[in-house]
Structure 1
């Protein structure tokens, strides 16, 4: 995603998204496969061309779970740098969670005293509990300072699909997926206190992932995916229940043909729903807010926020600097 600063955030100039499944098979072999690396290289060539076209003044290019855990992850990034001139940074799980929070922060209403954000990825899923009862950061770029607890689950849509299958998912298989994820959620620090806070205070549940946006598209009955209708949408608990029920009953061929799912996501959407369902059962909330945004937006906001700080510092230098 390439953007320029705007009065109320940023304006997107260009963007590119492709599902490459870089982590396909990593949970079994511990290595990135040749096929997955080639798919990723093809997508990165498109990114390189856009970078050459726009010549951004500042950029941050990151790699996440697949490259974190794969034995040949660093070697693959060396190849990317040598062949494409793209220098990718492997970020740790905490940084990934913070960037997701930053990217979604302006979906949190002023009346909220807290939020639970979750980002369902391919190889991992990040959760962050934000608590504003002691005060709320004024800058969206500093919203991660309110994180009270966070967790990176070693489960994502690709790893769940590889473990349980994603094509023919029976209700029994779906429940097994949910139980598997729930075991990991029990390790979340402060999970009981978070449950109490959700029960007694206005707390937002915010989901950012293809899983949640797909559910929103299905709920709205969209004939084609429309980001402006999905991003920021509130879904009630009963609406999520009903949409998941419809999706679970949908044969694989219909998932492939559905305009809000498609072939790339058809075998991943139910594993993603299982992760979402485990989160909903652990921390029941009356509604969830859908975010079609996340890491990329978080990176842009962080870069622009840092630029504003630097610009203020250059405009108002410290007395020591001014006096030499």
Structure 2
């Protein structure tokens, strides 16, 4: 999985590690993906093969048998664009001895079990080492591969069938690889696939088979905070087990230095590692992590994303502002009883704010603006007591950067999501302990927001930490956040916002893993 992971078996081929990108179609969309991709690529060679994949609920290593050889690869690196670099670790003939089996199980992210033989034939591996386990399984796969090159990259458009007869499941996958990640990225764009997720073979096969861990988690890596929602599949739906946040301030210093600074990256990476450990503590868990504005803006995001992957095996996907807004909208609107046909949903984060205009049933226009609490705290020194003229300048600066909100038809309702808004709601209720059910649906009017702005601007960060309801680690940035929320309401010609405790992470959870989670 990482540089610090398992050593290669002596049979591993000596090749230059290649960067890879792959997408799987939903079976219903397989023909469309295949036709669209083949329309772009030049002539291709056709290859057919039958392979046996060994799948694990614990990891995404590529472990397969083809041409009577055990072939394993592990992911070595991840970049900020989501590309994966894979390293071959074995290509060994049967029977497999203890060393070879150790390499195989390491690629599956599980310990080598006690061995009763000196060496195992293929059928013995299947029957004795894989078959009896609930966390490992076999997938017999037939591939029809169309292979070609495009702009210096190897491209494969593959029809992939798991199983035979009426139980067989077929889809199409498109893979692009090269030793040069820039060439892969360019080819993905040329094929029109940039909006799709990069999904490795193991994950794609598990999804096709409908085989996944009972536990699933989403980690939202924001500019100011890192949030976790952990859920369990139960009775056809999802039940929330954990929903919490840590203020890691990944974006600290980004506005001043133009890049992520080492202490901030360490704090955020440690928070992600802790959350991944928590998610996996009860058994296998499928984890999706998404990065937002701070990572979109940072030129050194590749270093952070790769460091997190090396540290705990979590792949942080850096999503677009538009995608962030769409997912947050889905999470917020589906769980609130709001009236009116014209809705504005906004998420004011540490580095940016996302806006979606839509109806109760579907999002419409979506955009992201680089207006965030961390950025304006640093720009105007809002982390302590502030004079009225400085506050006025900050409000004017925020309004100037939010001009895209002006000149629009007044929304019937405004929904506020994200850490700033939920903290404002918690302070309004004076919550000693955060209660999502109390916060969810809270109405914040301008009078309450102005009361809190006065409360924060007259206090130091240390004094703010004593305010009931305020998350202590948010003390430095809460004044800027409150000013942003106030300005959004003013420019929208609204006098109140309804707070949703359901945010980006809940939207990702619902879209990637099924129905929205319930408490």
* TM-score normalised by the chain length of structure 1: 0.80
CA contact (8 A) 1:120 1:211 kept: yes
- Residues 10 and 306 of structure 1: is their aligned pair in 2 closer, same or farther, counting only changes over 3 Å? closer
CA contact (8 A) 1:215 1:244 kept: no
CA contact (8 A) 1:58 1:303 kept: no
| 1:30 alignment partner in structure 2 | 258
User: What secondary structure is seen at the aligned counterpart in 1 of 2:334?
Assistant: helix
1:72 and 2:261 are equivalent in the alignment:
no
| 1:156 alignment partner in structure 2 | 372
| 1:271 alignment partner in structure 2 | 480
1:44 and 2:272 are equivalent in the alignment:
yes
**What is the aligned counterpart of 2:389 among 169, 172, 179?**
172
Q: Distance in 1 between matches of 2:244 and 2:497?
A: 27
1:187 and 2:396 are equivalent in the alignment:
no
1:25 Cα offset (Å): 0.9
Aligned length in residues: 287
Write out per-residue CA displacement over residues 63-90 of structure 1, whole angstroms, 9 at most, x where no aligned residue: 1112111111012111211221111111
Unaligned runs of 5+ in 1: 138-145, 308-324
- Residues 147 and 106 of structure 1: is their aligned pair in 2 closer, same or farther, counting only changes over 3 Å? closer
1:258 Cα offset (Å): 1.9
Q: Distance in 1 between matches of 2:483 and 2:355?
A: 15
CA contact (8 A) 1:169 1:248 kept: yes
1:305 Cα offset (Å): 3.9
| 2:310 alignment partner in structure 1 | 82
User: What secondary structure is seen at the aligned counterpart in 1 of 2:407?
Assistant: helix
| 1:19 alignment partner in structure 2 | 247
**What is the aligned counterpart of 2:423 among 214, 217, 234?**
214
Considering only aligned residues, what root-mean-square deviation do their CA atoms show, in Å? 2.4
CA contact (8 A) 1:3 1:11 kept: yes
Higher RCO by CA contacts (8 Å cutoff, separation 6 or greater): 1
User: What secondary structure is seen at the aligned counterpart in 2 of 1:192?
Assistant: coil
CA contact (8 A) 2:325 2:354 kept: yes
More strand by share: 2
CA contact (8 A) 1:23 1:66 kept: yes
1:6 Cα offset (Å): 6.2
| 1:122 alignment partner in structure 2 | 350
| 1:283 alignment partner in structure 2 | 492
Write out per-residue CA displacement over residues 147-193 of structure 1, whole angstroms, 9 at most, x where no aligned residue: 332221112111111111121222222221211121122134xx423
